[in-house]
Amino acid sequence: MPQTEFHLAHLTDFHIFQSSGASWRAFLNKRSLSYLSWRLRRGRTNPPEVLTRLLDGFPSRIPDHVVITGDLTHMGLPRELMRVRGVLEQIGPPERVFVVPGNHDALVASSGEHLRRAWDDYMAADRGYRESGSDLDPGVYPRVRERNGVALVGLSSALPTRPFSAAGRLGDAQCRRLADVLERTGRRRLFRVVLVHHPIINGQVKPRKSLRDAANLRRVLRRQGAELVLHGHAHRHSRERLDGPASPIPVVGLPSSTAAHTDPVKAACLRIFSIVSQGEGWCIDVRDLRSDHSGSGPQELIASEWSLGYAAPNRSK
């Protein structure tokens, strides 16, 4: 395998809020609870300026691709979705920015159609994968993008749920399609990055916020393999490993990209993975730009570097 290097940036959970312009009828549902949570807490803990500062800290060498793992809006309102559209355009063009939805983006049943209208090109699969059957319908996942030996495999765990629930679900059909996608991309020796909003390891969030069929997803990954799983939703840094068919699969979570938090585990972070092919596998180095709110002055960005080490091919046998 010729040596290649791919830089992948990860952001998540913007929780961008905009209630102006919405009819009072738009809040006769679960949105009223999200509105209340913003007024009582989230408006202070997740100001959008934090994201602006993170984006200003992008290194001079722009990453090859940016992935965003859901909850870009707070209430899934049409004007929120369009406001986020402007933020996405600042980050980059659709062919270099890939979005998977979160539960807040699909807060009520009507959010789904508005979501597709606002971000369709940012959530789209590559044409070749659409033609092969991975994306024949607007609601069908996984969505797959292939870039320089890396396959970005986007899942959707977003669905409207009852009040006080922030749970997610993939469904049997999506898991079956995922198994097929992972098998085909693994056979071609691509570095497979699975993107999902909800954590897939038990215990990271309360049951009412969990991925209901996480066990099904873990079974698919154990059988077919992947090289990396990225998620948001838990609003904290996490590093776990899941048994794969050949070697453990890193499962890495990121805090909200607008979190004005003094705890470094929960503070907003822009993460960049450097994926370098080495022989039959890859070396994965990581650079974090973390927002520091521990002082009284303007927030600073603190850079740190760490490594996920060498990743051997994790294909099914």
**CA dist list (Å): 113 to 38, 59, 108, 139, 170:** 24, 35, 11, 10, 18
Tell me whether residue 183 is exposed, middle or buried, using C-beta atoms within 10 angstroms of its C-beta: 0 to 12, 13 to 18, 19 or more.
Answer: middle
Residue by residue, DSSP assigns 189-243 as: T-EEEEE-SS--STTSS-GGGSBTTHHHHHHHHHHH--SEEEE-SS-S-EEEEE-
**Around Cβ 189, how many Cβ atoms within 10 Å?**
14
Rounded-to-integer distance, Cα 256 and Cα 266, Å? 8
Beta strands in the chain (DSSP E): 5-11, 65-69, 97-100, 143-147, 150-154, 191-195, 228-231, 238-242, 249-253, 269-278, 281-292, 300-311
Written as tens digits, the pLDDT of the chain (317 aa) is 445 789 999 999 999 987 766 655 666 567 667 767 877 778 788 899 999 988 887 766 678 999 999 999 988 888 889 999 999 999 999 999 999 999 989 877 766 777 888 899 999 999 888 744 444 455 689 999 999 999 999 999 998 777 778 899 999 999 999 999 999 999 999 999 999 999 999 999 999 999 999 999 999 999 999 999 999 999 999 999 999 999 999 999 999 999 998 898 999 999 999 999 988 899 999 999 987 776 555 567 888 999 999 888 888 76
Report the DSSP pairing between strands 65-69 and 5-11: parallel
- What is residue 136's predicted lDDT score, i.e. its pLDDT? 41
Contact 71, 14 (CB under 8 A): yes
Contact 93, 127 (CB under 8 A): no
Rounded-to-integer distance, Cα 76 and Cα 54, Å? 23
- What is residue 132's predicted lDDT score, i.e. its pLDDT? 46
Rounded-to-integer distance, Cα 239 and Cα 228, Å? 11
- What is residue 298's predicted lDDT score, i.e. its pLDDT? 53
Rounded-to-integer distance, Cα 293 and Cα 62, Å? 25
Tell me the pTM. Answer: 0.92
- Helix (H/G/I), strand (E/B), else coil: 62: coil
Identity of the amino acid at 273: F
Tokens coding 130: 């659409």
206 alpha carbon, distance to own chain's centre? 19
